[in-house]
Structure 1
Amino acid sequence: MNSSTTHADPLSPGTHTYIVAGLVQRYHVHGRGPVCVAHSGGPGIFWDYMRMPALEEHLTMVYIEPIGTAKDNHLPSHPHGYTRERYSSLLRELITRLGVPKAHLLGHSHGAFVAAYHALYCSEQLAGVVLYEGAPVTGPEHGAEAGRMVEAFAAKHAHHPGLPGVLAAFGAMSGICNDEQAEAVAKGVLPSYFADFWGNEERYGPLRGAIRATYISGLEEDLVPDTVDDRAALKDLRVPALVIVGRHDVICGVRWGLELAELIPDSRLLILENSGHLGHVEEPELFADAVRRFVAETAVPQDGAVEDSTGQAPR
């Protein structure tokens, strides 16, 4: 890819911008320690909900800003054409320019599908992959399971005055056709993405208000759905993997976390018992400790030793 950058140090703190294949690509660097690239979900949700201060204390977190979310990085085919293959090609460019022998890659929700693809087809770039609230498949089977989980959420909160709004937002998903609708739906469904949003609304409410979204269709350029079925391929994945799932996740729940862990050889599984779809917000210390330990234990040896983020060899 032909690309250019205005930053001499690709891992200096702050926002970095470069041009790749005619597109503006941004990423944001926070923290210090081993490098972990984070890919947010959606597609179309702005990256900043992914900020993980507890991880930034131990790792250099590189938050990629997925193309399609900002006005200056839309594909000519927008809102179509944002496939896993395309996102992976941009991850390849980013990790190459970071200048590290191998990086860790953490993908959340749709970003976990992208991370799985990158681990399968660009494994040489990765020391490890964190599949956070992902699944091995999309399509009718995944949709049916999500529907079952949303019904369970509705039954649990049947008398809450906020429930009709959440269900209306889910009902509006299939009709999204612009940015305003995408953002309204993202904010509307968000209470169901937490284990107990309404019991902690003072804590979680600001995140709901800050969510930003762009409409991305999920279709390829030729309007064919960009569907996923990684079940066969994941059995041969050789990149160390950590699977993280919240017990109360309605979108990519425990069923899928268990299946990913069973499919991927020698993978690790963390079930966050008091989280929904956003465990890095709901149980940040437990989440961060698991990721930090995984990174420390799978880091590529340098200078003859593998060290964790405190400077000590892992025990």
Structure 2
Amino acid sequence: MSVTANTPEASPSSRALPGPLSPGTHSLTIGGVTQRYHVHGTGPVCVAHPGGPGILWDYLRMPLLEEHLTMVYVEPIGTGAASRLPSHPHGYTRDRYSRFLEHLINRLGVPKVYLLGHSHGAFVAAHHAVHRAERLAGVVLYEGAPVTGLEHGAEAGRLVEKFAAEHANHPGLAEVLAAFGAMSDLSSDEETTAVARGVLPSYFADYWGDEERWAPFRDAVRAVFISGLDENLSPDTVDDRTALKALGIPALVVVGRHDVICGVRWSEELHDLIPDARLVVLEHSGHFGHLEEPERFDRAVFDFVSETGAGA
């Protein structure tokens, strides 16, 4: 697999401080596929992989963490036209994302980085931490789980039913449930974006209680259709329960108390599986604790980096 040099895209800040960790947008080409990433902040390096798969990266911006850390936000392959695989929308497996992460981390030129994965990105981060941990000082599994498949789906279904019961009289509930029902029939970027926005009220602890604040975020969410199948059209299923027991790097697990997709049950299980893992439950958050409780989220991650940072 060929790799071309990292090239910062023009901006005043990147011109002033050239290099793979200069502020701004960068790209590298791996086997003919372009991997972009975005650098903000200063301090120890933390590479952040967003969720989906297929949700565009910018929802994951963490301004408070950027005050302490050099945040490297990955723009996952498949979410931009130049980054699409020949097999698009198929073939975006965890291992492929992890191999692109390996090239990106090597390109950054620092001995160790922290890896933070949110939602589907947490599944990617766990895979990378298990199989390619050499350059990792630690991993943050933010709204993740050790498994996918029927068991994970049943738990999510239970939590969505709980959400529906709690909001049975809200006029927006029908739209949320219709979006969940449409998930299995997605086939385009437009449909994927519509469903991502449709389910979003259930992803917050209290979306409708502060809709004026969260509606602009909902309207800005963009997504690309990624099938979740490999090149042979087989599901890229996850069961990390055995592998995580041998994880040899520091780990922080973060979850919102009200998350319906990767709820507290799964983060508690991750905490129990991973040796010496830390667990932080954000009591007033759903799936987006970095937005709902930014100060608490920032403190949890920064404390983790500060206390494990000898190798960073």
Contact 1:102 1:300 in 2 (8 A): no
Q: Which of the numbers 250, 253, 259 marks the counterpart of 2:263? A: 253
Q: How does 1:73-84 map to 2 (within 5 A)?
A: 73-84=83-94
1:177 aligned partner: 187
Contact kept, 8 Å, 1:23 with 1:74, in 2: the verdict is: yes
CA distance in structure 2 between the partners assigned to 1:220 and 1:276 by the alignment: 30
2:11 counterpart residue number: none
Q: How many angstroms apart in 1 are the aligned matches of 2:3 and 2:267?
A: 37
Residue 74 of structure 2 aligns with which residue?
64
1:2 pairs with 2:2 = yes
Distance 1:301-1:88 versus aligned 2 partners, 3 A rule: closer
Mapped partners of 2:79, 2:7: distance in 1: 21
Kindly state the Cα deviation for residue 301 of structure 1 after the two structures are TM-superposed: 4.4
Indicate which of 109, 114, 120 corresponds to 1:110: 120
Structure 2: distance between partners of 1:42 and 1:154:
22
For residues 108 and 6 of structure 1, the distance between their equivalents in structure 2, rounded to whole angstroms, comes to 26
Query: For 1:160-211, what per-residue CA distance to the aligned partner results, in whole angstroms no more than 9, with x for missing partners?
Result: 0000000000000000011110000000000000000000111111110000
Letter of the structure 1 residue corresponding to residue 31 of structure 2: A
Instruction: Report the alpha carbon displacement of residue 2 of structure 1 after superposing the two structures with TM.
Output: 1.7
Q: Is the counterpart of residue 12 in structure 1 residue 22 in structure 2?
A: yes
3-state SS of the aligned residue for 1:3?
coil
Within a 5 Å distance, the mapping from 1:217-256 to structure 2 comes to 217-256=227-266
Q: Deviations over 1:202-232 (max 9, x none)?
A: 1111110000000000001000000000000
Alpha-carbon distance between aligned partners in 1 of 2:119 and 2:33, rounded to the nearest angstrom:
24
* CA distance in 1: counterparts of 2:227 and 2:310, whole angstroms: 38
Q: Does structure 1 conserve the Cα–Cα contact (< 8 Å) formed by 2:7 and 2:20?
A: no
8 Å contact kept, 1:83–1:226: yes
* Counterpart AA for 1:274: H
Residue 299 of structure 1 is matched in structure 2 by: 309
Question: 3-state DSSP class of the match of 1:231?
Answer: coil
Shift of 1:146: 0.2
SS of the equivalent of 1:300 reads helix
- Cα deviation for residue 300 of structure 1 reads 3.1
For 1:156-167, list aligned pairs within 5 A: 156-167=166-177
Give the C-alpha shift of residue 6 in structure 1: 2.1
* Unmatched 5+ stretches in structure 2: 9-17
SS at match of 1:200: helix
Range with bigger deviation, 198-207 or 179-188: 198-207
Query: How far 1:123 moved relative to its partner?
Result: 1.1
Compute the displacement of 1:297 (Å). 1.1
What amino acid is aligned across from residue 6 of structure 1 in structure 2? T
Contact 1:246–1:254 at 8 Å: present in 2 too?
A: yes
Structure 1, gaps ≥5 residues long: 303-315
Look up the match of 1:130: 140
Q: Residues of 2 paired with 1:35 and 1:73: CA distance? A: 24
Aligned to 2:152: 142
TM-score, normalization: structure 2?
Answer: 0.96
- Matched residue type, 1:97: R
Contact 1:67-1:74 at 8 Å conserved across structures: yes
Aligned partners of 1:250 and 1:145: how far apart in 2? 8
Distance in 2 between residues matched to 1:282 and 1:301, nearest whole Å: 31
Percent of matched pairs sharing the same residue: 70
2 CA distance for matches of 1:56 and 1:181? 33
CA deviation vs aligned residue, 1:92-117 (integer Å, no higher than 9, x gap)? 00100001101000000000000000
Per-residue deviation at 1:137?
0.1
